[in-house]
């Protein structure tokens, strides 16, 4: 899909694990946080364009009893230290079986972030590495960009409307859509 098909965003939101930082499943340790290649430059481009940015992350390890909210907050603080500051953070602490409205692919975190930023979801783009990320964006009425990683399934790539090879390309596509 061309950048012309994307509404110019007034904010860009990101998935955390696999998108901004290396995915360490159920990571309770801030020392294990490693930004993915190009994350800092991509975020600098977003900020240089004057756009707010935020992070939305499913953290079912809390609901599974594998880590505490305090540990997740410490990991998020490390992400913020390395790549921030971010204008908004949203965390879903629920187990996948809880049926909550915030766990991606549900739109709850995107909608909450939009409310906090004072924006309509149609004014926001969300970048993630799996199908649930772009599905959440679509469910909220936001633009979704998939940046595949080795864990991204082929059918997720095929179903995504907008796919970028890396964060730099995703940001470029979104910023080129701006007037």
**Residues catalogued as catalytic:** 15, 17
- Residue 49, judged by CB atoms within 10 A of its CB (0-12, 13-18, 19+), counts as middle
Site of tokens 């972030």: 113
Nearest-5° angle of CA 56, CA 152, CA 98? 50
């Amino acid at each position: 899909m061309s950048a012309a098909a994307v509404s110019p965003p007034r904010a860009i939101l990101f998935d955390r694990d696999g998108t901004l930082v290396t995915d360490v499943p159920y990571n309770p340790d801030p020392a294990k946080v490693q930004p993915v290649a190009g994350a800092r430059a991509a975020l600098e481009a977003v900020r240089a364009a004057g756009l707010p940015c935020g992070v939305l992350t499913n953290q079912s390890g809390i609901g599974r009893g594998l880590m505490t909210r305090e540990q997740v907050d410490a990991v998020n603080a490390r992400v913020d230290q390395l790549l921030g500051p971010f204008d908004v953070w949203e965390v879903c602490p629920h187990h996948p079986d809880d049926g909550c409205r915030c766990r991606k692919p549900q739109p709850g975190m995107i909608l909450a972030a939009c409310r906090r930023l004072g924006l309509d979801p149609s004014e926001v783009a969300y970048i993630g590495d799996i199908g649930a990320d772009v599905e959440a964006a679509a469910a909220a009425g936001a633009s979704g960009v998939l940046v595949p990683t080795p864990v991204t399934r082929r059918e997720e790539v095929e179903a995504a409307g907008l796919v970028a090879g890396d964060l730099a390309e995703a940001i470029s596509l979104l910023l080129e859509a701006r007037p």
